[in-house]
């Protein structure tokens, strides 16, 4: 028995902000951004993460053609929740009107969140506790950005993607690999707690806006994507050529190009849509997957690899048969 | 070593072989941007089985800096 993706959906806010738009508000230019990242534009949300996730979830449920009340597990991967409490997953459960016998929680593994959440959902489902799960990657990252920091403000976008999981005899997720390494140097951080406690002067070590050491993260990412894919290939006893696509976290074109080069495969093996949406963190893999499905790029029986990497530091990959 | 290093620089930075001189600056003369510098660093780490800590990366400004750095390892 395998756990398979039965439906996929995504939602991207309407407001498109191009590199040319950013030129007007900060010292940057289209060519510089495009060459270093591959990003041409991104979407910016005027609603919060749960609303983005809810809209993606609705589409995934419709695509899966399941009764909404059969869903008994909701995991939302996000590092940009509406609030620390309640969780985005609970807010989405309410918006969807799903009955009470459903377990809903958020999982924060930053840009690896979707793969981590799939791993948790599949493991819980294989234990027999849950039958139908909704795994959502939803982010409103633009609310966390320092719009005066041109090294980070250009990189991110908002959006959400979702999948519905249930049992399947033939297709499904085959192998997982996840890992983490505590970010002792603070190369990718976002602080949030405002401490008004008169008895404690505890301060967050991280800035209240998203902060990133681009070079360090680029090196980490390029190394870890290859390692993660290689781990899955070893478990599968297969070559990368046997997989139709690698659906990687859409952080930066240069990371995926460097990985393709180092693994001696064509860049086309790595699906890319970051030019349109920028880095949407936990949402990027399901957004890309939904686009691929809608454009008929994936057929039943195709072998795929998902790979995520990001803040934590965290990383993870999985293989699946569509 | 310069021969191997030249091959590496051409491969990683897409520069021309005749542009690679000891005095050539990685960024200004060979056209690397900050990410290409990191790609080059990773290639050096793999080729020479060394680790280049982040603080050392900024010291590698010219081809000669790289040659001396590798020799010192």
The model's pTM is 0.95
Partner B contacted by A150 (CB < 8 A): no
A214 neighbourhood in chain B, CB within 8 Å: 34-35
Partner B contacted by A105 (CB < 8 A): no
A254 neighbourhood in chain B, CB within 8 Å: 35, 39
| Contact in structure between A283 and A139 (CB atoms under 8 Å) | yes
Supply the pLDDT for residue A201. 86
Please state the separation of Cα A20 from the chain's center in Å: 26
Asked if B42 and A222 come within 8 Å (Cβ–Cβ), the reply is yes
Report d(CA A74, CA A88) in Å as an integer: 10
| Contact in structure between A141 and A157 (CB atoms under 8 Å) | yes
At A120, list the tokens: 């948790």
Supply the pLDDT for residue A193. 75
The length of chain A in residues reads: 322
Report d(CA A151, CA A111) in Å as an integer: 18
Supply the pLDDT for residue A194. 79
- Report the Cα–Cα distance between both ends of chain B, in Å, rounded: 14
Radius of gyration of chain A (CA): 19
Supply the pLDDT for residue A2. 94
Report d(CA A60, CA A270) in Å as an integer: 23
Name the active-site residue from A111, A119, A231, A318: A111
**pLDDT 10s per residue in chain A (322 long)?**
899 999 999 999 999 999 999 999 999 999 999 999 999 999 999 999 999 999 999 999 999 999 999 999 999 999 999 999 999 999 999 999 998 999 999 999 999 999 999 999 999 999 999 999 999 999 999 999 999 999 999 999 999 999 999 999 889 999 999 999 999 899 999 997 778 899 998 888 888 999 999 999 999 999 999 999 999 999 999 999 999 999 999 999 999 999 999 999 999 999 999 999 999 999 999 999 999 999 999 999 999 999 999 999 999 999 999 9
At A284, list the tokens: 């990027």
Å from B72 to nearest chain A CA? 23
Supply the pLDDT for residue A181. 97
Partner B contacted by A258 (CB < 8 A): yes
Partner A contacted by B35 (CB < 8 A): yes
Domains of chain A, CATH where assigned? 2-169 (3.40.47.10), 174-321 (3.40.47.10)
The mean pLDDT of B40-48, rounded to a whole number, is 93
Mutate to test the interface with A, among B13, B14, B35 (most CBs of A within 10 A): B35
Domains of chain B, CATH where assigned? 2-72 (1.10.1200.10)
């Amino acid at each position: 028995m395998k756990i398979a993706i039965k439906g996929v959906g995504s939602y991207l806010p309407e407001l498109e902000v191009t590199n040319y738009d950013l030129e007007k508000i900060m010292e940057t230019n289209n060519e510089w951004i495009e060459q270093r990242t591959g990003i041409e534009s991104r979407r910016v949300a005027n609603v919060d993460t749960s609303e983005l996730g809810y809209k993606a979830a609705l589409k995934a449920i419709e695509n899966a053609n399941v009764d909404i009340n059969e869903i008994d597990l909701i995991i939302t991967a996000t590092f940009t929740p509406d609030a620390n409490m309640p969780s985005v997953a609970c807010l989405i459960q309410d918006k969807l009107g799903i009955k009470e016998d459903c377990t809903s929680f958020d999982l924060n593994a930053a840009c690896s969140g979707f793969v981590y959440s799939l791993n948790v959902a599949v493991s819980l489902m294989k234990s027999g506790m849950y039958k139908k799960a909704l795994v959502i990657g939803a982010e409103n990252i633009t609310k966390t950005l320092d719009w005066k920091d041109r090294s980070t403000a250009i990189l991110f976008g908002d959006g959400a993607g979702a999948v519905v999981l249930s049992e399947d005899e033939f297709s499904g997720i085959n192998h997982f690999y996840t890992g983490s390494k505590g970010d002792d140097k603070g190369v990718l951080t976002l602080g949030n707690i405002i401490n008004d406690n008169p008895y404690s002067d505890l301060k967050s070590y991280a800035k209240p806006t998203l902060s990133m050491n681009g070079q360090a993260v680029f090196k980490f990412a390029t190394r870890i994507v290859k390692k993660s894919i290689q781990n899955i290939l070893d478990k599968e006893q297969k070559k990368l050529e046997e997989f139709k696509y690698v659906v990687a976290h859409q952080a930066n074109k240069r990371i995926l190009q460097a990985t393709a080069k180092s693994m001696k495969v064509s860049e086309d093996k790595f699906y890319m849509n970051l030019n349109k949406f920028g880095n949407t963190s936990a949402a990027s893999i399901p957004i890309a997957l939904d686009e691929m499905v809608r454009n008929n790029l994936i057929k039943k029986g195709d072998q795929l690899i998902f790979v995520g990497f990001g803040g934590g530091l965290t990383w993870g990959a999985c293989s699946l048969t569509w | 070593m310069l021969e191997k290093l030249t091959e590496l620089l051409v491969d990683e930075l897409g520069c021309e072989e005749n542009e690679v001189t000891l005095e050539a600056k990685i960024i200004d003369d060979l056209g690397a941007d900050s990410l290409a510098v990191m790609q080059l660093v990773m290639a050096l780490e793999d080729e020479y089985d060394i680790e280049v800590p982040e603080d050392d990366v900024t010291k590698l400004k010219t081809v000669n800096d790289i040659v001396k750095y590798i020799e010192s390892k």
